[in-house]
Structure 1
Amino acid sequence: MSTDQDQFALYPSLPDRPVFISGGGSGIGAAIVEHLARQGARVGFVDTDDGASTALLDRLGAEDIAHQPLFERADVTDLDAYIAAIERLDDALGGIDVLVNNAANDQRHRIDEVTPAFWRDRMAVNLDHQFFAAQTVAKGMVERGRGAIINMGSCSWRLGLGELSAYVTAKAAIEGLTNGLARELGPSGIRVNCIIPGFIKTERQVKLWLTPELEKIVLDGQCLKELIDPAYVANLVAFLASDDSRMCTSATYTVDGGWI
C-alpha cells in the first residue's frame, strides 16, 4: 500500500508549531521528523548518528518546505548534555510546544547476561530521558498554557517477547509515566499520550531482526497482513501533536496491525 505523503491528512494547527523529537535521525524518528516538517512545523531533533541525521537533512533540504529542521548531536543517556541540547533547541524554535519522546534501543539480551550496569543503561536509553525531557519542556508549556507530550511505548511487553527483559520493563513503565504526567500537567493545558508501535519495518529492524520466521510470527499475529511502514506511526504523532486531538490525553494508541 502506498505511503505517499499526498494521501495523508494535513492539520491546520501544525504549520509553525515548534516540535522536538529525540532519536530523530533514522527509523521511526526520521519518519516523524519528515512528516511534521512537511506539515509545516518547526522541527528540532537530536540523535547520535551524524550520518543518518545529515542524510535526512539533505533529503528535506531538497524539498520546498516552510522550515528546515534543526539538528543537534546528543546522547539521551547523558542527561546533562541532553537537557542542554533541548534547552538550546527550545530557544532556537521559540518554545517547544510538542515533545516526542522517541529515542530507544531494543538490544536483545538473555536474563543471565544482564549486569547491574547493563540494566541501568537500558533504563537510561529507554525510560529515564523521557521523564527528564518532559520535565524540561513542561516549564515553558505551563507558562504558555498549552503543550503536547507524546511518549513512545512498545507492544513488546504486552506480548511477552523474549530476550528483552530490561527493554520490556522500561516500555511498560512508560505507560505509567504517561498517565502520571497527564494527571499532573493537565490543569495547565498540557496533553500527554503514549503510542505503542508493533513491529515497524525500519531499516534497523529489517537488518538486525527480520527473518522469514519472525515475519511469519508477526503477520500471523496481526489482523492486518502486511508489515507496518514507519509513516503510519508518524501519522498518529501528527494527529496527537495537532489541535484535532485537543481533548485526548492520558491514553495509549496502538499502531500494530491488530497484533495485541
Structure 2
Amino acid sequence: MMPSARFADLEGASVLITGGGSGIGAALTEGFARQGAKVAFIDIADGPSLALADRIEKELGRRPLYLKTDIRDVEALRASAARAAEAHGDVTVLVNNAALDDRHAVEDVTVEFWDNNQAVNLRPHFFSAQAVAPGMKRAGGGSIINFTSTSFLINHPDMPAYTAAKAGIVGLTKGLAGKLGADDIRVNAIAPGWVITERQKQLWVTEQALAAHVAKQCIKQVMQPEDVVGTVLFLASDASRMLTAQMLIVDGGFL
C-alpha cells in the first residue's frame, strides 16, 4: 500500500531515481508520481520500465520519463541526469536506488567481478550526486537519498563485495552531507531490511527462510517495496529540513 501522507512541496518537484523501473525503485517512481512530482527514472531494462511508465500514465495522467542507462557508464549517467533536468527543470530530489545484490563466494571473486560490482553498487551514487549538485545549488537546495542496506549490519555471509559497497555508501553519504550542506543540500541514507520484491521471490525467498526472518522482526509482517516509500518521501520533503548525514533503518525492527 502506498503511503497516505501528502507532502505539498513535492508537487511539481523534479525527481531523479536510479533503478526506478522495478522492485523498490518502481514503488518509488510511482510514489513520487502520486505526490505530483515530475519524475525521471533510470533503468536498463526496457520491458518493466516501459510497462511501469504506461501504467502510471494511465492511472495518474502523467508519464514518468524513462531514461535507459547503464549506470556503469559514467558519461551515460551524466547525460541522463542532464536529460532529466532539461525535461523537468533542475533536479532537486535524487534517489540513488539502483543496486545488484548477486550472491558470490569469497573464493570465486575476481578483480573484474569486484570492479563491476562496485561500478553498479557504489560508484554511481557519487557521480549522480556530482551531476545534480550544481542544479540543486541553483534551485536553492535539494535532497539526495542513497540506498544502502542492512546486509552489512547483519554480517551477511554471501555477498562481501555488495556489503562492502553498501557500507561505503554510508561513508559517502556523510562526506557529501558535510560538503553540500552549506548549499542547503541534504544527503541521507536509507537502509532497508529484507524487502520481498519479485527478484527476491525468484532467486532467494523460501517459505522457511522468510518465516524465520519475519519472526525476528518486531513487526510481524513481510516487508513490501511500498513499505520503503514513505520514508523516502519524508527525506525528500521539507518535513526533514534539518535532517542530514543520517542513515535511517527500515526493517520492521529486525535489528
- Give the alignment partner of residue 99 of structure 1, picking from 94, 97, 110: 94
- State yes or no: 1:61 paired with 2:42: no
Runs of 4+ in 1 over 2 A off after TM superposition: none
Match of 2:226 among 214, 225, 231: 231
1:143 and 2:138 correspond: yes
Provide the rounded CA distance (Å) in 2 between the counterparts of 1:36 and 1:134: 19
Aligned-partner residue type, residue 35 of structure 1: G
Q: CA deviation at 1:144?
A: 2.4
Q: Please state how far the C-alpha of 1:58 moved relative to its aligned partner.
A: 1.3
Counterpart-to-counterpart distance in 2, 1:64 and 1:102: 23
Q: How many residues align?
A: 255
The answer to whether the 8 A contact 2:54-2:63 is kept is no
AA aligned opposite 1:12? A
Map of 2:205 onto structure 1: 210
Correspondence for 2:6 among 10, 18, 33 = 10
Give the Cα–Cα distance (whole angstroms) in 2 for the partners of residues 40 and 178 of structure 1.
27
Q: Which amino acid aligns with 1:180?
A: G
1:47 is aligned with what amino acid?
D
Corresponding residue SS for 2:8: coil
Equivalent residue letter for 1:30: A
TM-superposed deviation, 1:145: 2.2
Normalising to structure 1: TM-score of the pair? 0.96
Partner of 1:62: helix, strand, or coil?
Answer: helix
Identical positions, percent: 47
Q: Which moved more, 1:125-134 or 1:239-248?
A: 239-248
Which of 47, 65, 86 matches 1:51? 47
For residues 142-174 of structure 1, what are the alpha-carbon distances to aligned partners after superposition, in whole Å with 9 as ceiling and x for unaligned?
Answer: 222201000000000000011110000000010
Partner of 2:23: 27
SS of 1:233's partner is helix
Q: How does 1:168-187 map to 2 (within 5 A)?
A: 168-187=163-182
**1:6-29: CA deviations, max 9, x gaps?**
x61011111000000000000000
Structural RMSD (CA) = 1.0
Matching residue of 1:90: 85
- Give the C-alpha shift of residue 45 in structure 1: 0.5
- What is the one-letter code of the residue matched to 1:220? A
Confirm or deny: 8 A CA contact 2:41 2:67 kept in the other structure.
yes
Partner of 1:132: 127
Range that drifts further, 86-95 or 214-223: 214-223
Listed one character per residue, the Cα deviations across residues 112-144 of structure 1 (whole Å, up to 9, x for unaligned) are 010000000110100000000001100111222
List per-residue Cα deviations over 1:160-193 (Å, max 9, x = no partner). 0111100000000101111100010001000000
Deviation of 1:64 after TM superposition, in Å, equals 3.0
Aligned to 1:71: 66
Q: Which amino acid aligns with 2:42?
A: V
Which residue of structure 1 lines up, in the alignment, with residue 37 of structure 2?
41
Question: What SS does the corresponding residue of 1:151 show, helix, strand or coil?
Answer: strand
1:241 aligns with 2:230: no
Q: Tell me the secondary structure at the aligned position of residue 13 of structure 1.
A: helix
Q: CA deviation at 1:220?
A: 2.7
